[in-house]
A and B are shown apart, each in its own frame.
Chain A
Amino acid sequence: MSTIVQLQSITKVYGIGDIIVNALAGVDLTVNAGEYCSIMGASGSGKSTMMNIIGCLDRPTAGRYYLDGIEVDTLPDNELARIRNQKLGFVFQQFHLLSQLTAWENVMLPMIYAGVPVQERRDRAREALVRVGLEQRLQNKPTQLSGGQQQRVAIARAIVNRPVVLLADEPTGALDSTTTEEILDIFGELNASGMTVVMVTHEADVARRTRRVIWFKDGQVLESNLSPKDVALVSAG
């Protein structure tokens, strides 16, 4: 079983004037290929900062981060952009689709930055949309799609470059309970077919669908391998 995400004593310090905030205070964490884990914790516990660092949108103040065997904490901005493009897939709470593009074009976007040839781009984007059940909506603009459909387009966009890990930041936060189930089914299917998924959530019901829960508190990992059925226990205590 290969290691996808390996974090070694990661710290992140934000300095706002005289006030210094230790967003992460020495985090050690490993995520292996094929895992389906959720990151939980109270707001301010550092889980969003963690997500940004795993997603290479932010750099740690100290510590080492290996993504798929590459040490990424020292890479320059351009290299990080390439890593995000090639190795990471993002799903956001607010979907973040480009309104002037169709569903199909939105999914093609990461491949444009990857330099994939046009025909291959179109084929792969269609495949990804088929995988999330949107083959009928290729030519629709985001405004013509429901919230759940938009999030499925976003998932298709996240997986189209075949990332080593799919990062989801509160992916169901803007959806009703029925749609939430549909989206989580898709994540489940993707994981079943071998995709590593890391999801930040504050909903116990969502975390329960994953197979491993990482619990953050005060910028540190409180529990790194919690069973989903114990979530209620931790949140109570």
Chain B
Amino acid sequence: MDWLESGNMAVKTLTSNKLRTGLTMLGMIIGNASVIAMIGIGQGAQRLASEQFESLGPNVLFVTPGSPGARQRTTFLPRNLVWDDAKAIAAQVPSVASVAPQRQSQLSVTYGGKNRTTLIMGTTPEYLIVRDFDVAKGRFINNVDLERNTRVAILGSEVAEQFFQGQDPIGSKIRIRNISFEVVGVLQAKGSFLGNNQDDAVYIPLTTSATSLTGRTSPFGLDLTFISISAVNEANIPAAEFQITNLLRRRHKIISEDDFTVQTQKDILRIVGTITGGLTALLAAIAAVSLLVGGIGIMNIMLVSVSERTQEIGLRKAIGASEQDILMQFMIEAVMLSAAGGVLGTGVGIGGILLVAAFSPLQAVVSPVAITLAVTVSGTIGLVFGVFPARQAARLDPIVALRSA
């Protein structure tokens, strides 16, 4: 008996009990659909995150205080990254184009009885260039503001919308932590970044933030949360990273471990990739459990089928089917069930991905690897879970099988 005959026979048997075949396949359909959808959604999230980081501009580097090793050892770090570091980088590193020192905290902002806790960012004029923001109305921070510690504020578009609802906010006074600031500008809307709304922020001069608001200064100078730096061009990023690291080591008199971290966009992308990749794997692993359950469902039904078809097996053996013939027949039925479930499940999974993509910012990523994997895995599951029932069938004694009623 050849493969075609066996396949034909299996199709006949499977279609003769459509409800049962359908329900058995449902397990595999759900399993495959969830694996493919989870991997797709995970990869979509990964791509979204990557693209958002890429939207920062390809030339951006970040310097943050502390090092990965130091972070593990202590929770309280002295604020050792200071404005002078940023100034030194701007002045001494040739491959750097602009340097934007940033000092940020979450503070409560009030205007006309409305209250909102938002990101207060102390920075310098370079921020606009490095982070690629545009001013919609009025002006941004300038050097005079920095020198004189002026109490001026530039609003992110969402803050402006919430407090002023279309009215011109320029010249109005808002209160940040009960200190009055004059609104001198509004930024263009930029959208969210990794779920963080970038337009929900208020910008003030770096110096003002230190003197009037948070007041915390490290023993080394005006402390920073981090420094955003843009390199001259993409090719200069490794050079910039190296030069910045050297300069800061010298300035901080490092003899063993760095107390700062320089990260390029690539580094961050890699971290993001690791995190989202891990998440994707986790989702896929959870989904794979349902694939396993589907496989067990197939084994269960095949076992029922063997005991129900004892007489058929006896008859087939009596008219000349060998043990291999019977084994093959039941194996093919199991593999067909699972592979067909796999193919249908793939369709459902792709549909699910497209649906999610249509109603969320996630992109639809239909991974050919995931599909090949899912269908192969479900075929294999059919094989593995089909072996036991098929052996049961093949080993039946034809005399006993024929007599069973």
Contact = CB atoms under 8 A, between A and B. Distances in A.
Given A58-B399, A92-B402, A98 B315 contact: yes
A155 B215 CA distance: 103
B16 interface: yes
B155 to A, nearest CB: 75
A57 B315 contact: no
Given A57-B399, A96-B311, A98-B312, A78 B319 contact: no
Interface string A71-100: 000000110011011100010101010111
Interface string B291-320: 000000000000000000001101111111
Contacts of B7: none
B5 interface: yes
A82 B322 contact: yes
A90 B318 contact: yes
B323 interface: yes
A100 B1 CA distance: 19
Interface stretch (A39-47, A106-114, A201-209): A106-114
Nearest to B320: A85
Given A96-B315, A96-B402, A109-B316, A101 B321 contact: no
A114 B316 CA distance: 12
Given A100-B12, A112-B1, A57 B319 contact: no
A52 B316 CA distance: 15
Nearest to A52: B399
Contact of B319 (A58, A90, A94, A101): A90
B107 to A, nearest CB: 76
Interface in B298-354: 311-312, 314-325
B320 A110 contact: yes
A194 B268 CA distance: 89
B322 to A, nearest CB: 4
A124 interface: no
Contacts of A113: 1, 316, 319-322, 325
Contacts of A212: none
A114 B322 CA distance: 11
B199 to A, nearest CB: 66
Contacts of B312: 98
A157 interface: yes
Given A96-B311, A113-B1, A81 B12 contact: no
A15 interface: no
B398 interface: yes
B52 interface: no
Contacts of B311: 94, 96
A86 B322 CA distance: 13
A24 to B, nearest CB: 14
* Best-buried of A57, A81, A82, A161 by chain B (most CB within 10 Å): A81
B399 A77 contact: no
A141 to B, nearest CB: 10
B13 A81 contact: no
Contacts of B318: 55, 57, 84, 90, 96
30 contacts: A57-B317, A57-B398, A57-B399, A57-B402, A58-B399, A77-B323, A81-B317, A81-B321, A81-B323, A82-B322, A85-B319, A86-B320, A90-B319, A96-B311, A96-B314, A96-B318, A96-B402, A98-B312, A100-B13, A101-B12, A109-B316, A109-B319, A110-B319, A113-B1, A113-B321, A113-B322, A113-B325, A114-B320, A157-B319, A161-B320
Interface of B: 1-2, 5, 9, 12-13, 16, 311-312, 314-325, 398-399, 402, 405
Interface of A: 52, 55, 57-58, 77-78, 81-82, 84-86, 90, 92, 94, 96, 98-101, 109-110, 112-115, 157, 161
CB-based closest 5 A-B pairs:
A85-B320, A100-B16, A81-B322, A113-B320, A96-B315
Given A81-B325, A84-B318, A94-B311, 8 more contacts: A78-B324, A81-B323, A85-B320, A94-B405, A109-B316, A113-B325, A114-B320, A115-B2
